[in-house]
A and B are shown apart, each in its own frame.
Chain A
Amino acid sequence: MLKIKIALIGLLITGSQHLIAQSKTIQGVVTDPSGFPLPGASINVEGTQNSASTDFDGKYSLKGVNPTDKITFSYVGLISQTITPGQRSSINVTLVLSTQNLSEVVVAYGTQKRTKVTGAISTVSSKDIAAVPITNAESALQGRAAGVTVVNGAPGSNPTVTIRGLATMGNSAPLYVIDGVLTSNLSGLSPNDIESISVLKDASTTALYGSKAFNGVIVVTTKKGKKGAGQLTFGTYIGGQEITKRYSVLNTQQYLQYAKDLGSDLTARAAEFGNTSTNWQDQIFQTGLMQDYNLSFSSGTEKSTSRYSAEYLKQVGAVINTGFERYSFRANNTQDIGKLKVGSNIGVSFSTINPERSAGGRTLLEHAIKMAPYFPVYNEENLGGYQGPSAVDGNDAENPVRVANLGYQKINNLSLIGNIYAELEILKGLKFRSQVSLDYFTSKDHTFVPSYQDGSYHKQAFSTTAETNSQGQTIVFDNSLNYKTTIAGKHNLEVLGVITKIDGKSQSLVAGSRYNISDEIDQLRYNEGNLGSANYEEKNIGYIVRINYDYNDKYLLAVSGRRDASSRFGSNNRWGNFYSVALGWNIAKESFMENSVFSTLKLRASTGTTGNDRIENYQYSSTLIANYNYPIGGANAPGVSLGVAANPNLKWESKLDRNIGVDFGFLEERITGSFEYFNNKSSDILFAVPLPASVGSAGGGTQIQNIADVKVSGYEISLGYNDRKGDFTWSAVANLGTSKNEVVSLAPGVTSVLGGPVPRAGLENFSRLEVGQPLFYFYGYQTNGIYQNQAEVDAVFGPGQTAVKPGDIRIIDRDGNKIINSGDKTNIGNPYPDFTYGLNLNAAYKNFDFNCFISGVQGNDIYNANTFDLQGMNRLFNASTDVLDRAVVVNGTVTNPSASLPRAQGADINWSSANQRYIEDGSYTRLKNIAIGYTLSGDAFKTYFSKVRFYLSGQNLITITKYTGLDPEIARADANANSAGIDLGRYPQPKSIIFGLDVTF
């Protein structure tokens, strides 16, 4: 390591020898299109270190300019301009907004000019974020950043974000970096505080984060104070949201007939409840009110800037007793003390989540579908006040309103994300920076359920209280040296060296108790309970070097390397090396292109590697589990036995990225766009491989192994157009991304792996891993209609078998062995879309502004687990009205051959979870947002406000899809790859209408 350091110092010293000839001074003002001065804009003579920045009136003064020099004026979020001064000594510049290309792009450990970027980066600006009222910052990426998919869940839950498709089998979430602080989600961040988001998609941009960058990196920069007079802004919105779609289920009359056909006469029972007909879905969905208030104050002097902000968000869910409330605060400061810059960015948030509750491992929606319609919701005579089934009903679904409303579950989170840094300019162009970052959280998940008795099935004679307390902190200590120079006026060189040390700790305490005496106390007590705690620790060390070189802005080269060590691997495989190389060619800057239509034309190519250590801690060492108990002699006899099967040979999961791209702009950047192609290969993917059940707990069921190699490839296209005609300006930005993955190889001895969530605990897994197939494709039985008579059954199985009868689903006996078994399973669906897309339209006319944003996915399959309840008919539950069209069998023959569903309570295999009947086309196009705004004008306002804007917007108002589930944008069970595309009936995305107000004082 020391050799590298010395070499670095050598480089720094040679670079600093250059001096620049001086001639005259240029002055002027830099403004935005509306004439407001832009403080802090940078002015730079190309190819030199000669630069200046504007003061808080937008004024600048730049010494030593030659008449033939090219002066670049730039400002974050606006299109840079390059001007040759000639004989002028005063130049005023107006910088205009770019549609998509921010001139400065935030990259790993710094920023880079868009023209010098050689990797694949998508950016989203604060303007895009402000266009749609969102409650979590991740949602700003949906449909806006090509190749990024975002799926939302219940209020307060973290969305699932995937960049360039799945390349791993464990946690597929990207790394988030907020002002240099590494974190795992953006939940504590107010979207109003975001200045820009950069999505780093290829190794040349992500390799600097080495072992953390496997799934891509999302770099968020928060808004900083701006030089100039203090500015106070206030924003608010209020709105309602609702889930409007329902599954069509049987009403009481239909249900009674259906039950009779299944052998249960419930006419008298229904009469006991006055033959009511409760629509249970209407009972669990509601109109939820959302409100948000945010306030920020920004100010700055020549030497310092600061920005303070606060936000209050309250979201009442569209499902009963769900919601999210968050207070977030942020303070960002910078201070210049001569050559030393110090600063801090600190955000704190407090939130309370009321999650969607469930009982018996079943979602509210599942209970609502299955609950008999003749029950009333409430019954004052029952303990707890709700009505539920008894054995006489022959249906044991739970009252979903009681599940949701009786007692409570509250998750209180505190999150603190911040950094403090100091940056010293040691020599001209040489900066040393030291930064300490902290990501700290506490979380308290408290559940209280008082005693109740709905009927003979669902009752609890005591109250229960459960609490999980967790706390964690990650401290990152970064020290870096950055040297930037220009040699001979044309060789631009930037060298960065970083040493980073990551120290993570987390702990949890889980406790539960029951109380037989009373429902009045919702706190833990030692009556009958359990208690447990755990501590985890994780450490990383990384060394990072990056060299960026370009010749006259035309020929670009970027090289980086990172050497990382992780405590998650044994000493034999602890270190990993990651590198990247990228090349770029700014063709538009060539002299032969001078008169072409292209204002931008750049080719770029990159390759490199990243790693992944995202597995549980301590997997390389063997453990024992001490949680087995058996009562002997009237007392508990505690048991200890083998736990996790250790794998001492675990090593890094690594990924080779290859990316080529072209950026273009025509007609003075009125049309801009880019095209990317990527072809990545992940190797030694870590996965908890299910061990044969017969080896017992020798392996705890699974063992983490470096199991698979996977290929992921695809392309991304972004196109933007913007135009202005008098008072009318408009822009359109479209993007489209594809990604296709395929398992290339599996570890020796492994031919396939089954996994993933199932509609019910205990049902068969159907997400499969196999060479030549996509990751976790759906694997199960193919179906072909319904057996109409005994002759058809016998033709397949021969005479004498009784498991399959007329009226059952004809499952294709693929291997022709006259038995339906797992040998007949095949690929029945692919959860990944062929492509995802977004279209963003913006227009403004005088005081009106308009935004319309459409996003969609095409070509994916969804496993609709709700179909299991709606059409399964394996026993008596309420069901879809589709069951009215089930096969009716009389004397061994189906009497209604057109029936769409098999006979009720048919063969076991009819409702096997690995079955094509649950697979549907999941493509959709959704109007994510439509908004119209009006900005007040007139001098009367100008006295008090600099800007007042009202807007009205609607989200998810129109969805075009063939999917029969409540929402094709399905909330994932978890971030694991094998839960992709499985709709377990979790929180559907609501429609919402919002009215908002933004004021700048």
Chain B
Amino acid sequence: MRKIKYILTVLSGVLALTSCDTSELELSNPNTLSPDTFFKTKDQVQSAVNASYANLQTRGLYGRNFSFAMDLMSQETLGNPQLEGNKKPFQDFSFNAGNDIIQYYWESCYIGISRANFVLDNEAKINALTELVLPQEQKNKFLGEAHFLRAYYYFLLVKRFGDLPIYKTNNIIGNARSPKAEVYALIEEDLVFASQNLLARGVETAGRATKEAAYAYLGKVLLYQKKYDQALTAFNNVTGFSLEDKGSFYNNFMEETEHGKESIFEIEFDAKNGTGDQWGSQGDSGGTGFEEATLRGQEYGNLSWYNVYPSDDLLDSYETGDNRFGDTFYLPGSPYLEGKKVMVASNFTTSAGIRRAGWKKYQNYYIREDEALRSSINFKVMRYADVLLMKAECENQRDGGSQTAAIAYIKQVRDRANLTTNIAPTKEAVFAAIVHERKVELAGEQSRFDDIIRWGIAGTELQGTGFTAGKSELWPIPNRETSSNPNIKPSDNNPGY
């Protein structure tokens, strides 16, 4: 019996040491915040909004690929031999649903949407905060920013893919595609909310979406749907802006002159905050980390990688005396590096021969010799010149519109370019003038491809490039989606893919 007692003593000791206390197994993650306790302070609400902005910088969007894809499709730029294999298909429209640039574009936009939805899904929590923590006006403007960004991303998507799965709140079940019209309806709804709740330019910190930006995009979205009257009304609310002065066109493309008088909305870059994991996959679509620079300057620049060069067709589109030409392109003889150096023919040498020109818009050569440090120059994605030309288009197209009024808008843009304006006041002549003016004013600004698609002239403008009418207007839904979303099958893809 003593032995049994002895054993029992030992055993109870063992049991005490390795007790069944399963509460010890209840661990919480010490490395992250929890959604249950979030949205308690102004900083928290603002940081949730910031996260949605951060996705504009991904390599799938303005960090890298977006400009290539758009400028190549429009044939404003063409690839030198070193242009990478995933970008080349945009020049001849041979891309397929496996293309990673299309995938990252899709992912970048939808991740941006889900971050905006993260704010909107918590609207009740935000509105429940006291006035002391967050005044109502601030609550409204944060929600307005989320609505603006959601609209911005859906607009990027609907232009490229047509019918889309729509997520008004976050969930992890993939939705089926909804008709394009429903997507536009949501975008309009979001932008209307944004235009009513965002702060005005001058009140809001530069870099955040403003009331005027919301009106400009609302107008643009309506114009894309050919709702010209409504669009014009929206554009008329974009007040307080003017064109950069004659001779200062290049102010739109430099770092020091960001958020100038012509600028309505910009995609922000600032390399001093960090250039992140340069080629890692983090920045493709997730927007994590400090990737605060864009690769555009390095990849476009003729003193750097020179992956693309301006096409002859674009160079030849400029009228003699158009002062935008010298601000858009570098040619042999162009000064750079604060005027200390001059470009020579060998600066345009590629393995396929010597090119006529290189890009100047958004390049840092005006102050630097190369682009090795990558670029901090913001993309001015909505500037007043664009609004003027869109207003001209509305006037020209709307029932009862005035060609004279349209010509007046165009004239403002041409005056700044040091050109005379002599357009016949007919619908056709004004339209032709708008087509030309948008091509040269907005060259290399990812505008032309969208324009020729919505005007229905892509088939003729892009003849012989590989563009197939009825197919190439849209990109394919990426395989990454069709392989993981049970509600969108490969057979549901856009025509021809």
Interface residues in chain A, defined as those with a beta carbon under 8 Å from any beta carbon in chain B: 1-2, 5, 9, 12-13, 259, 262-266, 269, 360-361, 391-396, 426-427, 430, 432, 434, 456-457, 459-461, 477, 479, 481, 499-501, 528, 530, 534-541, 565-567, 571, 574, 617-618, 621-634, 636-643, 645, 689-699, 701, 703, 749-754, 761-765, 800-803, 819-823, 872, 874-876, 905, 907-909, 911-914
Contacts and interface: CB of A to CB of B under 8 A. Distances in A.
B25 A567 contact: yes
Given A264-B351, A528-B274, A692-B484, A699 B51 contact: no
Nearest to B495: A819
A582 B26 CA distance: 35
B124 interface: no
A430 B17 CA distance: 21
11 contacts: A264-B351, A477-B17, A641-B118, A643-B32, A692-B165, A692-B484, A696-B107, A696-B117, A820-B96, A823-B491, A874-B85
Contact of B110 (A574, A695, A750): A695
Contact of B115 (A266, A426, A642): A642
Contact of B18 (A391, A432, A541, A699): A541
Contacts of B269: 631
B52 A822 contact: no
A361 B279 contact: yes
Nearest to A516: B373
Contact of B32 (A541, A625, A698, A701): A625
B8 interface: yes
A696 B170 contact: yes
A959 B3 CA distance: 65
Interface centre among B18, B20, B97, B170 (most CB of A within 10 A): B18
Nearest to A906: B94
A631 B468 contact: no
Contact of B29 (A259, A393, A621, A693): A621
Contacts of B274: 528, 530, 629
B362 interface: no
A803 B466 contact: yes
Give the contact-size bracket for chain B. Answer: 35 or more
A874 B79 CA distance: 13
B195 interface: no
Contacts of B110: 693-696
A627 B274 CA distance: 13
Given A391-B80, A394-B82, A618-B28, A637 B46 contact: yes
B24 A539 contact: yes
Nearest to A766: B98
B285 to A, nearest CB: 8
A971 to B, nearest CB: 21
Nearest to A5: B11
A264 B354 CA distance: 11
Given A427-B3, A479-B17, A631-B292, A394 B81 contact: yes
Nearest to B288: A627
Given A629-B289, A822-B482, A567 B26 contact: yes
A574 B106 contact: no
B466 A802 contact: yes
A585 to B, nearest CB: 35
A802 B468 CA distance: 8
Nearest to A529: B274
Contacts of A753: 483-484
A637 B53 contact: yes
B352 interface: yes
Given A426-B10, A695-B172, 8 more contacts: A5-B11, A360-B279, A539-B25, A623-B29, A642-B35, A695-B173, A696-B114, A821-B490
B14 interface: yes
Contact of A623 (B6, B33, B352, B496): B33
B207 interface: yes
A593 B287 CA distance: 74
A822 B97 contact: yes
A624 B38 contact: yes
A5 B14 CA distance: 11
B92 interface: yes
B268 interface: yes
Interface in B480-496: 480-486, 488, 490-491, 493, 496
Given A535-B30, A618-B29, A695-B173, A630 B352 contact: no
B100 A763 contact: yes
B174 interface: yes
Contact of A752 (B303, B476, B483): B483
Contacts of A695: 110, 114, 167, 170-174
A642 B466 contact: no
Contact of A762 (B53, B104, B353): B104
B351 A640 contact: no
Contacts of B281: 361, 761-762
B208 interface: yes
B33 A640 contact: yes
Interface in B58-99: 80-86, 88-89, 92-99
B41 to A, nearest CB: 11
A908 B89 contact: yes
Ranked 10 nearest A-B pairs via Cβ: A696-B114, A762-B100, A394-B351, A639-B51, A692-B174, A264-B351, A692-B485, A631-B270, A641-B51, A874-B85
